[in-house]
Chains A and B, each alone.
Chain A
Amino acid sequence: MGNLDPLGLTRRGLIRVSSALLVVAALPQKIWATALRPETAFQTTTLEATFDALGGVPQASDGIIFSTPDIAENGAVVPIRIEIDPSVLPDVSKLYVIVEKNPNPLAAVFQVPPNTPPYAETRVKVAQTGNLYAVAEANGELYMMQRETKVTLGGCGG
């Protein structure tokens, strides 16, 4: 009890305090980006076309642990997390995030360097209630896990 924050500072507060002392190197890695970014897939406008561009409809896999909110607190910034159980799904080299009902469903691609535990956490925009897909690529095959996120007008609670 009460020991969460012994310094009286939240982690956010600590970072704010220390940020003045840090030089953050955010070099744009254009070469990498071009190599990784599947332009065609990002331009697709339907779920079907997105899967086509990635190489077909992935098979469902319990090796993908996909955390999404059941109901979005803010549809503009929906936190999502993808974890992989390597005992079920080894050798994952790429992770994709797809938001079914968005104008361009493919929201993000993550390259997983060899010998790295596959894990991604980000925020995506979810335009309206629909399914979100976490897709993992391993040894040239595609696997997926889907979850519904609801976007509501809110209010009336309680």
Chain B
Amino acid sequence: MLALGAAAGLALPGVAARATTQSPYDIAPVGNVHLLHMTDAHAQLMPVHYREPQVNIGVHNARNRSPHLVGKALLERYQIALDTRQAHAYTHLNYSAAALEFGQVGGFAHLATLIKQLKSGRPDALLLDGGDLWQGSATALWTQGQDMVDASKLLGIDVMTGHWEFTLGTDRVQSIIKNDLAGQTAFLAQNIRDKEFGDPVFPSHVMRELNGVPVAIIGQAFPYTPVANPAYLMEGWSFGIRERELQVKIDEVRSKGAQVVVLLSHNGADTDMKLASRVSGLDVILGGHTHDAIPRALEIKNPRGITLVTNAGSNGKFLGVLDFDVRGGRIKNWSYKLLPVFSDLLTPDPDMSALINEIRAPYAQQLGEVLATTDELLYRRGNFNGSFDQLICNALRDELDAEIAFSPGFRWGTTLLPASDITMEDLMAQVAITYPAVTVNEMSGAALKTVLEDVADNLFNPDPYYQQGGDMVRVGGLGYRLTPTAVAGKRIGRLTVKGRPVEAGKSYKVAGWASVRRVEGEPIWDVVGRWLRSQKVVSNLSIEQPEVMGLLDNLGFED
């Protein structure tokens, strides 16, 4: 077990920042237990650009603490020099120019090469995936996740958990596990139970002997999947954090001889940090969901020692490498590195390239259709509207003749550089979900405020266990003032439409998509696709941002 101070003074062999461009992936292994961790790939088989957030506000305990550091504050905290590859990987700074200089990130063929290289010096290394693997692209949607399942098997994923996977529906998930993953990839979730009896739906953990060391890996699916996504897609399954059940499971695997206990988690970084402070006996939480690229492992104290907490970014852009030196049943040393995956620095693996080509070939024409071109940098990630969200909101308002548009605050969605074509594949990378219907509703001013308050509490509740969602709902045509540090119900004020105050009793026409209830409507990609074709060129996007109050010296907010 990782005792308090066990890691003190150990030689962390260089922060990733000091890696040279000659051999950035030549990472000497430490010890005898080796775990490679990826998460939130969101079905990006091909290399992409992904701009890290400019706004990722932390309040209360999370204020000015990882992962709520952006831009220069993040670089300073982790001693990463400006205008370097590392700075580009971890921040939004000087984004377009740096993206042109350093190229794309991720891609499964490039990841495959990197994983093979790292594994070659690490016998018995396991590859763990934290979920959000089967969703986020056109081909993943059109093949019901089959493309990602096939690519992940070839990549060699040993263990995984899930979140967006469940939006394929219970039958499809069970069928993939039974027909595709059996014998190769363990799909784990200690926190999903049958709604009626509380029986486990999935195995909670696996025990593997790695170089003679018994290692337990427990899976933790996204606890609020049926709240954040449509519950009807996962009928009969109940989720939740299930902290007590987790502690029982940890004690059980320890009593069965596990010398290293790992939680493969899709909780999100803040929830993982709270969990790590309350649960004893975990050596590490390998985290995902919040897409935070945290350069180092955070050491969180709890009643019986410390637990390392990591978060490994998204979209295939990062790979976490965790080495433990376990001797006499105890962890003597450890090393964690988060490696940015720069596609230009890695030769694509021929087998994976061939598989990806085979997957994409039947869809080449649809994927490649150019809908428009953009003069703007198009991205999503951040607490408030990204430029791609603004584009979607503008399209919804124009196409449906609505005063206001809402678009969900997803954290996935790749980035397009200025002067790029916007292809159908690029659009699908923002909208490829199994509940894409667009709707128009009449909402009262009071209801608009309720929606914004509800989402704001999911983001800024002082207790991460009560934070359910993604980023703030994206808005078009609606101005508001936000005070993240205020109590629930008091964060939102000064709502305006066309510069005029919103009236509580007045009705407004609101377009939106991705409802968690069963609704009928045209798929979002048809609506936005039609709008893009009519626009031909996207330019002069004016990005709507709320007026944010009360955030003096907050390092999660950069203008």
Contact = CB atoms under 8 A, between A and B. Distances in A.
Given A11-B199, A73-B226, A129-B488, A158 B411 contact: yes
Given A70-B466, A148-B466, A157 B229 contact: yes
B421 interface: no
Contacts of B199: 4, 10-11
Given A11-B199, A129-B488, A155 B239 contact: no
Interface string B296-315: 00000000000000000000
A158 B434 CA distance: 14
Contacts of A1: 186, 203, 206
A70 B224 CA distance: 10
Contact of B227 (A4, A148, A152): A152
A71 B186 contact: no
B410 interface: yes
Contacts of B469: 155-158
B500 interface: no
Contact of B454 (A11, A152, A157): A152
B194 A11 contact: yes
B289 A153 contact: no
B333 interface: no
Interface of A: 1-2, 4, 10-12, 67, 69-74, 79, 129, 148, 150, 152-158
A129 B457 CA distance: 11
A69 B289 CA distance: 20
A156 B239 contact: no
B88 to A, nearest CB: 25
Interface in B391-449: 408-412
B interface, over-half SS: loop
A116 B194 CA distance: 27
Interface pairs A-B: 10 shortest CB-CB: A157-B228, A155-B516, A156-B469, A70-B465, A156-B408, A153-B454, A154-B516, A157-B469, A73-B226, A154-B227
B470 A158 contact: yes
A12 B193 CA distance: 12
Interface in B167-198: 182, 186, 194-197
Contacts of A73: 226-227, 231, 238-240
Interface string B191-228: 00011110110110010000000000000001011111
A139 to B, nearest CB: 28
Given A73-B239, A148-B466, A158-B164, A4 B200 contact: yes
B410 A152 contact: no
Nearest to B450: A153
Nearest to B512: A155
Contacts of A72: 227
B492 interface: no
Contact of B412 (A67, A150, A158): A158
A153 B512 CA distance: 15
B55 interface: no
A127 B206 CA distance: 39
Contacts of A156: 228, 408-410, 455, 458, 469-471, 473, 514
B451 interface: yes
Q: Which residue among A1, A69, A70, A72 has the maximum number of chain B CB atoms within 10 Å of its CB? A: A70
A33 B433 CA distance: 50
A71 B98 CA distance: 41
A72 B226 CA distance: 9
